[in-house]
């Protein structure tokens, strides 16, 4: 299969200057303000986005290293397969966060609930639509006994270069 290459469309800005200590999911980053600086050549693609209260940011974990296939995630002391966790160290270091869209001014998106390191390259933006994106789930694997730790768990350097 041919290699796939992506070009960033913008940069995420946040108060987090390094990965250590940031919330590990957007759901734990309540009211953390940030911005998305969309490169000017993509600004035309923002038409009608302001009609959505939440957006999905898809980005490149530029500071993470490729993790082994078995890793110890932030909220557990046991090893799990990399595809059973949501950490940044992955074969393809792609991240996603659902954030609140506050407003758009030209090519700048003002957002809240951001859990992304300042300077993170943005790959795409999609509108969040509950009817498309929310599913009733029956099980959440190993997180069942650990999900209560989300609001208190912060990132450390285990996945960083």
For residue 86, the model assigns a pLDDT of 82
Q: Is 161 part of a structural domain of the chain?
A: no
Pairing of strands 80-81, 120-127: unpaired
In the chain, the number of structural domains is 1
At 21-79, the pLDDT tens digits run 787 677 767 889 999 999 999 999 999 999 999 999 999 999 988 778 998 877 788 99
> What are the backbone dihedrals phi and psi of residue 27, each rounded to the nearest 5 degrees, phi first?
-65, -20
Average pLDDT, the chain: 88
Residue 5 lies in a domain: no
Residue 67's domain is classified under what CATH number? 2.40.30.70
Q: Which domain holds residue 39?
A: 10-152
Q: Is 159 inside any structural domain?
A: no
Question: Is position 88 within any domain?
Answer: yes
Structural contact between residues 112 and 34, judged by C-beta atoms closer than 8 angstroms: yes
Residue 30 in any domain: the answer is: yes
Number of other residues whose CB lies within 10 A of the CB of residue 99: 24
The DSSP symbol for 107 reads T
Within-domain flag for 160: no
Would you say residue 38 lies in a domain? Answer: yes
Provide the whole-model pTM: 0.85
DSSP string of 11-71, one letter each residue: EEE-S-SSSTTSBSSGGG-TT-EEEEEE-GGGGGGGTTGGG-SEEEEEEE-TTBPPPPSEE
Q: Are 113 and 12 in contact (CB under 8 A)?
A: no
Is the residue at 49 inside a domain? yes
Query: 139 is written with which tokens?
Result: 């099980």
């Amino acid at each position: 299969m041919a290699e796939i290459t992506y070009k960033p469309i913008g940069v995420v800005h946040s108060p987090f200057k390094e990965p250590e200590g940031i919330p590990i999911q957007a759901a734990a980053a309540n009211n953390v303000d940030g911005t998305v600086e969309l490169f000017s050549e993509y600004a035309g693609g923002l038409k009608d986005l302001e009609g959505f209260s939440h957006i999905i940011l898809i980005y490149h974990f530029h500071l993470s290293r490729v993790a082994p296939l078995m890793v110890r995630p932030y909220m557990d002391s046991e090893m799990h397969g990399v595809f059973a966790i949501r950490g940044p160290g992955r074969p393809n270091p792609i991240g996603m966060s659902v954030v609140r869209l506050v407003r758009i001014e030209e090519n700048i998106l003002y957002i809240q609930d951001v859990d992304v390191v300042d300077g993170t390259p943005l790959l795409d933006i999609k509108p969040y639509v509950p009817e498309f994106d929310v599913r009733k789930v029956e099980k959440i694997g190993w997180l069942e006994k650990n999900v209560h730790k989300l609001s208190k768990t912060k990132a450390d350097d285990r996945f960083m270069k």
